[in-house]
Structure 1
Amino acid sequence: MGIDLPLLWAIIIAFGLMMYVVMDGFDLGIGILFPFVREREDRDTMVNSVAPVWDGNETWLALGGAALLAAFPLAYSVILSALYLPILLMLAGLIWRGVAFEFRFKSDETHRPFWDKAFAWGSYIATFSQGVALGAFINGFEVKDRAYAGGLFDWLTPFSVFTGLGLLVAYALLGATWLVMKTEGALQHRMREVSRPVTISLLLAIVIVSLWTPYAHAEVAARWFSLPNLFFFAPVPVLVVLATGAILRTLSRDSNAAPFLLALLLLFLGYTGLAISLWPNIIPPGISIWDAAAPPQTMGFTLVGALFVIPIILAYTAWSYYVFRGKVRTGEGYH
């Protein structure tokens, strides 16, 4: 029996995007939290906690985009045509926050507030744009003759705006729990206090999206609520509730790493719910991974490169996090 190349590539792309959400989510979350922290020393500590790793985290976004082009060119052309503006805004936000990240360390006291605001705004724009794109992807795209047939602003709907706001909350939780793990003293205490309402807000956002999606899409409702699927998929929402409760408990018990790890679990469960709702479509609502796949020769050739590159990315990522493990203290870090 031959290898199902479209399925294997779908797993690779899903893995790459999940790694991006996990790893770039918390440093975007730090930018989202910036306006709520006024002290310069605390802001420096927040940025220093991600300074050694933040730019490497975006490797996974580049990998996901390149893999989509190589393995599913139809999906690449349709999705990028449909989401041209939010993707452009996302990239602009990522570039702007990257520039601000570097310049705030090198600017004098007169210009530092400007770069602090730029870092925050870049984080907000990039995150909101990602969330809007996610909402538009869930809603699906109009395709005719294997090309995008919708309008320039079809991505802008109440649902996509809500998912944009929801992703801001999700990344804020990752950023806050990351700082609980990486900092100490007053800043850590403040992040524990911030994490509690953000956790509850994220749970509410997940519940709303989980109800809104099947209400708006009959095929998603059939996927979740028909038998025996209901019994198979029921553990996902149950685990979401349990993970939320566990985050709140660990925040009250002065745990360091546990809140962050549980926040990652909560986002993974949300990602799993999304996969269950849309599988096997890579262009919702009706084009599957097999319909959108590149020729087998292309997928096999590029797979060799992917299987070579991905372990290298994982290795240097793990090494960088290992080298820069431990707490970040005031006055230490990036210069």
Structure 2
Amino acid sequence: MTPFLPPEWLPVVFAALMAISILAYVVLDGFDLGVGILLPRVAEEADRDRMIAAIGPFWDANETWLVLGIGLLLVAFPAAHGIILTELYLAVAIMLAGLTLRGVAFEFRAKADEPRRKRRWDHAFVAGSLAASLSQGWMLGRYVLGFAEGPAALAFAAMAAVGLAIAYAFIGATWLIWRAEGALQRRAIRWARSAIWPMAVGILLVSVVTPLVSARIFERWFALPEMLLLAPLPAATAGLLLGLGSLLRHMPLPGDALRRLPFWGAVALFALFFAGLAWSFFPYVVPERLTIWQAASAPESLSIILAGAMLVLPVILAYTVLAWRVFGGKARELTYY
């Protein structure tokens, strides 16, 4: 079968689709994982209900992006899929267990007829959110270091695990600033203020370590003229962090549009950080071991898979947009059960 794109472009297209899927998952599931992490900070059952209601219509659609990203990795880059999942199999298993626990806790919490039973499912929801967040951060740290072994590599992976959990808590807090009202919204502002600078330290550490682990990545960041072309990326990140910090100090502000700004600022931060990682590692899908062309399936297979992806991707995007439009108001009672 003759590919409808030049064969050398097909792996690039699939790498872009996979990157979009992963970024969408990290942003979208990141805020509902963050809300789960923040749940123990609230003692009042009514406010916990509102926090759950703020993510209730979205969380299952958000996880679809993870399925799409891993599916694209499997069918488009099977050699890389085997290496990555072999290196990260325990963390992946913990992540899947955490996501499963969250789903079960979410559904059973709604059917609990006693506050004590509901609180037990709250604990399960928090445990699942933490397990998924920490395991994803661990995978990020292991991937950045090219799956290196040793105490220093494991310490960096642990730091990345905690850093990503803090980042999820931050974007979860900004989501609640947008979607909540009253006392819960004011609490969310305090949570965001507390999380933004530890998150900034995590971004800085990963950004510093990434070029140090590879001479190739170091050249991409610090050789001229690439350094001048990429200078806006860290500058924009620093400016965005300072702007968000200033905005949060002056909140709450009148007007729903202004309350959305911290969330969209957090989305921009995630996108900038992801863009830096993508630039650092491209064209490798397994750091310093396999490029996207070496790991790709046959061009004929990629052509067929691409046709399917072009059908599935708009459906997932449309479902996500529809959920946001239908459930776009403030979180109040759990009336959608």
Q: TM-score range by the shorter chain?
A: over 0.9
Whether the 8 Å CA contact 1:26–1:172 is kept in 2: the answer is yes
Q: What code does the residue aligned with 1:213 have?
A: T
RMSD: 1.7
SS in structure 2 at match of 1:38:
coil
Counterpart in the other structure of 1:178: 175
> Is 1:117 the equivalent of 2:134?
no
Counterpart in the other structure of 2:62: 57
Task: Give the structure-2-normalised TM-score.
Answer: 0.92
Q: Residue 220 of structure 1: CA displacement?
A: 2.1
Structure 1 pair 34/41, CA: closer, same or farther in 2 (3 Å)? Answer: same
Structure 1 pair 155/44, CA: closer, same or farther in 2 (3 Å)? Answer: farther
Q: Residue 219 of structure 1: CA displacement?
A: 2.6
User: Structure 2: 5+ residue runs without aligned partners?
Assistant: none
Q: What code does the residue aligned with 1:33 have?
A: L
Most deviating of 293-302 and 214-223: 214-223
Q: Residue 155 of structure 1: CA displacement?
A: 11
> Is 1:161 the equivalent of 2:167?
no
Structure 1 pair 332/82, CA: closer, same or farther in 2 (3 Å)? Answer: closer
> Is 1:140 the equivalent of 2:146?
yes
> Is 1:266 the equivalent of 2:269?
yes
Whether the 8 Å CA contact 1:136–1:155 is kept in 2: the answer is no
Q: Match for 1:80 among 85, 101, 107?
A: 85
Aligned length: 325
Q: Match for 1:221 among 210, 213, 218?
A: 218
2-structure distance, mates of 1:90, 1:173: 20
> What's the CA shift string for 1:64-110, capped at 9, x where partnerless?
11111111000111111111000000000000111111111211222
Whether the 8 Å CA contact 2:61–2:319 is kept in 1: the answer is no
2-structure distance, mates of 1:90, 1:178: 22
Q: How does 1:65-104 map to 2 (within 5 A)?
A: 65-104=70-109
Q: How does 1:284-295 map to 2 (within 5 A)?
A: 284-295=287-298
Whether the 8 Å CA contact 2:94–2:135 is kept in 1: the answer is yes
1-structure distance, mates of 2:123, 2:79: 39
Whether the 8 Å CA contact 1:29–1:174 is kept in 2: the answer is yes
2-structure distance, mates of 1:65, 1:75: 11
Q: Residue 333 of structure 1: CA displacement?
A: 3.5
Q: Match for 2:328 among 319, 325, 330?
A: 325
Q: Match for 1:33 among 14, 38, 50?
A: 38
Q: Residue 62 of structure 1: CA displacement?
A: 0.6
Percent of paired sites with the same residue = 42
SS in structure 1 at match of 2:293:
coil
SS in structure 2 at match of 1:2:
coil
Q: Residue 171 of structure 1: CA displacement?
A: 0.5
Higher helix share: 2
Task: Give the structure-1-normalised TM-score.
Answer: 0.93
> Is 1:130 the equivalent of 2:136?
yes
Q: Match for 2:197 among 192, 196, 200?
A: 200
